[in-house]
Structure 1
Amino acid sequence: MTEKTLAAVATGTKQTEIKEVALPDIESAAGILKVEIVGVCGTDVSYYNDLKAPMILGHHVVGHIHKIGEAASKRWGVQEGDRIVMEEYIPCGQCELCRTGLYRLCPDTNPKVDGIRYGATPIDIEPSLYGGFSQYMYLHPNAVIHKLPDHVPAVEAALALPLSNGFEWMRIIGGVGPGSIVVIQGPGQQGLACALAAKAAGAETVIMTGRQSSLERLNLALELGADYIVNVSSENLAERVKEITNGKMADLVIDVTSGGTDPVVSSLESAKTGGLVLLGALKGKRFNDFDLDIIYNKSLTIKGVRGHSYKSVQMAVEFISSGKFPLAKMNSHNYPLNETDLALRTAAGEMDPSRLLVTVSPWQ
């Protein structure tokens, strides 16, 4: 008899259904993961709100190896029962981008050009189990995985990918280290991850910004190690940064907000001459009447940042495993599989505007 798993299949816009999906017979180079917990990402919400084809969402996945082929076991260095963190990418491994470490940009990982990716692959692509909102998930031969110690609490383990973005952008790309002054625009998952990564790297001053509606998250940023918060609903960011830094301004400013272009402008204003401004969120808007001379006059470097590397995920796993930070505070809601719809609506801010990390535990 064919073994089956329960999965929350997104079947329409803002709609999921619990369905039985057959577990595949795996070849030597593949495997099956028993999903332990899945973090709900903003990308999941965007697919949920505008679904193009039925799929199993969820890509911040933690689980245990359920079945593993002989070749996959040797290649990944894992065996049945091992606990792992999944990356969402399924790269080809052969193109120039993959060969130079930029596999997150490999066309094979881009669903918009017929690539496949965990949490973004239609169920009509066999064997269908490409999403974490399921009791079991298919381990593709080209999957990228990381071993994780058993002592890490599940809700903290689910932070591995958001935290890896923080380490990628702050340490690997941003070069943050002792003495650095960092401004982080937006106290969501990505912003809090950047704050943690910056402090772990030894930054002297970390300033987190947010609106009045994000006051609870701003206060959490202080608990997690940020040095200052700025409420941009009532304070001028550049003026506050000048005051806090005694006129030095910021070595690095990152915008991970999703609303409007104002944070981009204030980021440029808050950076020091010769500073670095990172843009880590889509805006969907064009600038009007923007004075480009600020970039020239301050000799700023502006760079778009997206995703993580193998190294930054390893950094995140080691950081989480150390137990030095109260990461469990970042988890605000954990739902069972049959409440995946509620989890997605919560992550979208429909149920609780102060939500933080939302997770789904398929066996709960």
Structure 2
Amino acid sequence: MLNTVAAAVQVGALTTEIREFKLPEIPADAGLLKVELSGICGSDWPDYKKDGGPRILGHEVVGRIAKIGKIAEKRWGLKEGDRVALEEYLPCGYCDRCRTGEFRLCDFTDKWMGGIRYGATNTIVEPSLWGGYSQYLYLHPNSVFHRIPDHVSSEEAALALPLGNGIEWAVHEGGVGIGKTVLIQGPGQQGLACVLAAKQAGADLIILSGLTADMERFKIAKSLGAHYTIDVSSEDLKEKIKEVTAGKMVDVVIDVASGGPSTITTGIDVVKKRGTVIVAGKKNRDIPNFYSDVLVSKYVALKGVRGHSYGAVEQAVQFISSGKFPLKEICTHKFGLNQVDLALKTVGGEGLPGAIHCSVDPWN
């Protein structure tokens, strides 16, 4: 094993440099992961545009246990050489949220409240290796793992968290399943994950909306189970949904589109009475006040969501391991460690074309 670790460190807004760190000593309750691949989450791009201090981004991490302390070995049920996907959350383990299985809502995981989590923590916090764009990653005692079978490719294994999001938002929060119709707004990696989750849950009708530039993504969406795709640049979304639902509209709207609140208000317009609108992305602007009256008159549930539960990621791993789905179509780009800047710009639409889910191989 190396004595030093190479990592791509964000040192400022839209600026990355390769730095070396000393391989840390591992206490009895912690471990060290040799990173195999780290997926690039859509949230990494807005983070990269901000100067958050020196940090190693990347939280969709797959790798093998390189070192593990005796206490950690017993606590985690893992050993050296085991292959795992890692969640970004580092929960406290003892608060009400943790004790009831909602550890993603633990304050200790919230980077906006001073918590620590993978892909967001400053390198001045010892032992510095808190992100996936690195050859090795420090395994905190409160790390959360999912076992990954050896036959699964690293690119598909890195989809565990985004697919977990899709399952959480569409099925666990939205209630999508047999007899339900759903509109998914936004055909990025999260939107496609919601399509797959809705299909596997047995939804009667799956509609995906996007822009003219998303035509290739629309093709992939249909291969994953979408029944209809709507280009809102050239078609009236509400009228098209009336057409394909025979005027009944949809039971659930899942908004994973970027931009302002217009997709939320549109979702409220096209959802049925007693329907549900799931908002999975921050809009940075308020919803127009008059829509509160529409929510009341239509008896609509408007739910904000973030992240995934442990169970949703476990289901995602099962999806991936089954080999039943053409997930390779989602895995579009793989970059080396010295290409992290280009990788992030590609995810942000300012680099290479055709990106859906991109990843970083820290050994290339």
What range is the shorter-chain TM-score in?
over 0.9
Corresponding residue number in structure 2 for 1:132? 132
Distance 2:7 2:235 in 1: 46
Distance 1:250 1:288 in 2: 22
Is contact 2:32-2:66 (8 Å) kept?
A: yes
Distance 2:206 2:288 in 1: 30
Aligned partner letter, 2:108: D
Question: Structure 1, residues 256-311: CA drift from partner, whole Å, max 9, x if none?
Answer: 11112211111111111111111111001123464433212211111111111110
Q: Which runs of 4+ in 1 moved over 4 A?
A: none
Question: Structure 1, residues 148-182: CA drift from partner, whole Å, max 9, x if none?
Answer: 10101111111110000011111111221112111
Corresponding residue number in structure 2 for 1:151? 151
Corresponding residue number in structure 1 for 2:32? 32
Deviates more, 1:289-298 or 1:236-245: 289-298
Distance 1:352 1:49 in 2: 17
Normalising by structure 2, we get a TM-score of 0.97
Over the matched positions of the two proteins, sequence identity in percent amounts to: 53
Aligned partner letter, 2:183: V
Normalising by structure 1, we get a TM-score of 0.97
Deviates more, 1:132-141 or 1:293-302: 293-302
Question: Structure 1, residues 188-208: CA drift from partner, whole Å, max 9, x if none?
Answer: 111000000000111111000
Distance 1:206 1:153 in 2: 28
CA RMSD of aligned residues (A): 1.4
Corresponding residue number in structure 2 for 1:6? 6
1:215-364 → structure 2 map (5 Å cutoff): 215-288=215-288, 290-364=290-364
1:58-77 → structure 2 map (5 Å cutoff): 58-77=58-77
Distance 1:113 1:299 in 2: 33
Is contact 1:4-1:23 (8 Å) kept?
A: yes
Distance 1:184 1:84 in 2: 30
Is contact 1:2-1:22 (8 Å) kept?
A: no
Shift of 1:215: 1.9
How many equivalent residue pairs? Answer: 364
Corresponding residue number in structure 1 for 2:57? 57
Is contact 2:265-2:291 (8 Å) kept?
A: no
Task: Tell me whether 1:192 sits opposite 2:192 in the alignment.
Answer: yes
Structure 1 unaligned residues grouped into runs of 5+: none
Distance 1:71 1:31 in 2: 10
1:162-173 → structure 2 map (5 Å cutoff): 162-173=162-173
Q: SS of 2:43's equivalent?
A: helix
Aligned partner letter, 1:300: V
Distance 1:9 1:145 in 2: 24
Distance 1:252 1:352 in 2: 34
Distance 2:146 2:291 in 1: 45
Shift of 1:353: 4.8
